[in-house]
Structure 1
Amino acid sequence: RTPGACNGGYYHHVICSESVQLVDGAGLCSGRLEVKSNQSWASVCEADFDQQDAEVVCGELGCGAPAALQGGLYGEGEGQTWDKEFQCKGNESLLLDCDTSDRKNNTCLPGNAVGLTCSEPDDVRLVGGGSRCAGGVEWYDQGEWRTVGAVDRNKEAVAAVVCRQLGCGSTVSVLPGNTTRGFRVRCSGSESSLRECGTSYSTYDLVLGFTVICSGNNKLHFMAKNAVV
């Protein structure tokens, strides 16, 4: 039973949660889901967990969007099984903040412990918009999240790249934000991530941030035992 490490590598802004972990996977962002219950860890049954729940877990761990969900993908838990069904909306910060209900079945058959793969942690995020697909644009650099700004004629192009990078579909709207120190970014709109765009940063320069609302089309593959649906 191997929990993912929370340090090292470029993506050092991943988070160790006190109540949720993915174990026996390749790292922090993949593995069998376990939830802390009365000071011990419990696996979660596939029937009690869905896409919105996966989005919350991946976000809580500081990982990117959920990429795959499959019962038994990372083996079976050795201890107890979580006794509730999660009913997340998808915008909660913590899995244990989600509503729950009594499980429909009292048993979880072998091969049904939730295995979850989140994409690698994003170095871009949208904050303050109520979901991971809406909010002010920030970029992680040298241990800090910094505001991303762009000139008016280029904001739509930058927004398109941000929505694409986050797996959040297309741009719905772009709104003005606050003026602060941050990155000034220039994109053509066809890039797959902000890293491919031109950027500049100065501790003395102010940039006009902006808020992006994406369509929210997160890509999550629910996998059958031997095939991707």
Structure 2
Amino acid sequence: MALLFSLIFAICTGPGLSESSPRLRLVGGPHRCEGRVEVERDGQWGTVCADDWNLEAVAVVCRERGCGEAKEPLSGTAYLPSEDNEQQVLIQDVSCNGLEDTLDQCKKTEDGFNCWRNHTAGARCDNPESSIPPVLESVRLADGPGRCKGRLEVGHQGQWSTVCKAGWNLQDAKVACRQLGCGRAVLTKRCCSKATQGQGPIWLSQMSCSGQEATLQDCPSGPWGKISCTHDEDTWVECEEAFDLKLVGGDSLCSGRLEVLHKGVWGSVCDDGWGEKEDQVVCKQLGCGAPLSPSPKARKTYGLGVGRIWLDDVYCSGEELSLEQCQHRFWGFNDCSHKEDVAVICSE
């Protein structure tokens, strides 16, 4: 007698399956890819007898369930239903070659059952969800001197968690700094003193970034949450502050002596080689329209700068979106004094 399977809800199907395929599930295991094998007939779920049950049959079950590799055929008392939830045996003498798309395609006996209650078939497959990293909603550097230095923490489902230093290196830190919108990674180390250690769960370790990824979410890592670390091994990351610039001393944000931010310190720019195209890039980056006039001498209009002179011999094509993209000497290398500080006046 042919099996009739009701279709109560839609299921996702693998290659070769159709919406008319009988339904199958794994029950009682730690996840959807391990447990007692059950099939449905006439709206009722029943078990599979473990006579001749083997790894080939489990491979078919794993494929039908959209799980990973078949690990082990289970039988006997593994995930046995409770006595008050006794179920009828619906299939026995299953014989698969391991290549079928569904258990229904395997040879089997569907009536005349002779199977002991404690001889129920089960299956253990790889759990695909265990290899899919959860969504990291946010990243931050906590308890540092600024937003670009501190103890690395990732956010998931409204909770912050630290990252174990095991396997962490400068390539991983490079990705974290990029995701934070900070400058280049300059230091990563084991964190922290007892007073500044993280609290709560440690979700990630064994990160393995190439350094080119946009976010830590894109990097391979060890199993999520299966961590043998303690908070003595929390990760500390230091990035350079993001490049920034400003005009100071003028009567608006769009005029004044030019200063740029590097390594968290503001400094001026030498006017050697500075001209209209460089003015254009500064005004564009600040959202201040176009330059109004050739750069004036800052010392005459906006006063002398103090501290570092970060840039010298700057050359721009005028097409750059940021002054950081223009050519210049190494940061901090110059033969200037503050009498040569750049000033810019923009139209807006």
Tell me the TM-score normalised to structure 2 length: 0.34
1 or 2 for the larger relative contact order (CA 8 Å, sep ≥6)?
A: 1
